[in-house]
Chains A and B, each alone.
Chain A
Amino acid sequence: MGVRDDQKAATREKVLVAARDLFNEVGYEETTIRAIAERAGVSVGSVFTTFASKAEVLSHVMSHRLAELYAEFDRVIPYLRGSVADRLSSIFAIHYEFETRRVKLFLAHVAASYNPNGDPGVTPYGRNPRLNQMLLDVLDEGVRKGEVRPDLDLQLLVDTLKAAYAWNYRMAAASGGQVPASEMSAVMDRQIALIADGWRPR
């Protein structure tokens, strides 16, 4: 990498950190590109040479964070034990734990995914292939071990679980972000148990 590329990467990193913190502390709508530049100690122009819009900054902040989360998962996954329901519970619990560290940021990301003015440089919330694959893998193993009926559409189960998972963040949204991860995980565990009642072989 040349000096210019180094500089560009450093600016990018600084902007992403500043934006992440401002979105979480002040709010996404309330944060301007100018404020991000100021916090990052770079010029407004250099933010715009790296990102086309604030929506794109948010999108990159989130994908940057996911890299962190999935590094955690790479370490943890081999050690997951217990029934299919137990392992799904652990996967969701880790997600709740991770996202509640900066819950306002996360809620802004979800909200932005419904915003009518989403631009093309943005990867919206809900398009997360890693989470989907992890859940499918657990269910698939459950089928092989006879815990899950083989005639079920596993992607349909995954979609149902993900819908419940995502909508539990409503608890955080409704309370201004004051709900601890453990509370959301506890509700999720009950939802998993309920759906598990239906996937067991009879």
Chain B
Amino acid sequence: MSFVSVNIESATDSPVKLTRRALAKQRTRERVLAAARRLFSERGYEGATIRDIAQAAGMSTGAVFASFADKSELFEEILTADYEVIHAQMTQASRNAKTVDEALLGLFAVAYAFHVEQLPLLRASIAVSWTRSEAAERRARADLKHIFRLIGEALRRGVEEGQLKKDIDAKLLAEITWDVYVGNYRRAIYDGWSVEALLTRLSEQLKVIFAGARA
């Protein structure tokens, strides 16, 4: 985040004051985000209103709107922040792997471990993904792109190293892999599956999906 303010009028303005203001703003955002995360987890996306979130953060709705344009922006900021936490680990897990299966299981293991820990928030985020506005959908796709790039890289390495056939439909394989990965969260939600159980299932599913693609 940039602390350079457009309100700088003259060089005599004390930088300490500016920083303090910027910090206060940052703290407000963090308080809102923390309250929102808790309420979205407890009540789901629709169940948590901006008014509730403001109240939980101990501020006015106006103060919340000063930091976030609307509820969907607030929600996405939480998801993006989470995604940034795990992206580096997912990348590393994938790139350190020796085989395609290891790479895919490695990167999804990171995601499962992270999301199963905070299942209510994940439930809310998947629920929203089915009915959100087109603008929100476009923004969410940016995060997805990174994950699909990682999957794509893993498949490309699999082809280069002779594990997969040269003429595979990489895009289709990536999509089905993603489908089963996300679909498995239902097992965590409804049947209480652990991360290990999810990974075992995913590993079996990858065998089914890639059976025809192996070199």
Contacts and interface: CB of A to CB of B under 8 A. Distances in A.
Interface string A149-166: 000110011011011101
A27 to B, nearest CB: 7
B192 to A, nearest CB: 15
B47 interface: yes
A199 B189 CA distance: 30
A190 B171 CA distance: 11
Between B131, B176, B189, the greatest number of chain A beta carbons within 10 A of the residue's beta carbon is seen for B131
A160 B172 contact: no
Nearest to A124: B190
B43 A117 contact: yes
A116 interface: yes
A197 interface: yes
B147 interface: no
A79 to B, nearest CB: 28
A194 B212 contact: yes
A22 interface: no
Contact of A198 (B127, B169, B204, B212): B212
B78 to A, nearest CB: 15
B41 to A, nearest CB: 7
14 contacts: A29-B46, A107-B131, A111-B128, A111-B129, A114-B189, A116-B127, A117-B47, A160-B180, A167-B182, A174-B137, A194-B169, A194-B176, A197-B212, A198-B213
Given A156-B208, A173-B131, A198-B211, 19 more contacts: A28-B131, A112-B127, A114-B130, A115-B123, A115-B124, A115-B127, A116-B47, A116-B120, A116-B124, A126-B186, A160-B176, A160-B205, A164-B175, A164-B176, A164-B179, A167-B178, A191-B175, A198-B208, A199-B211
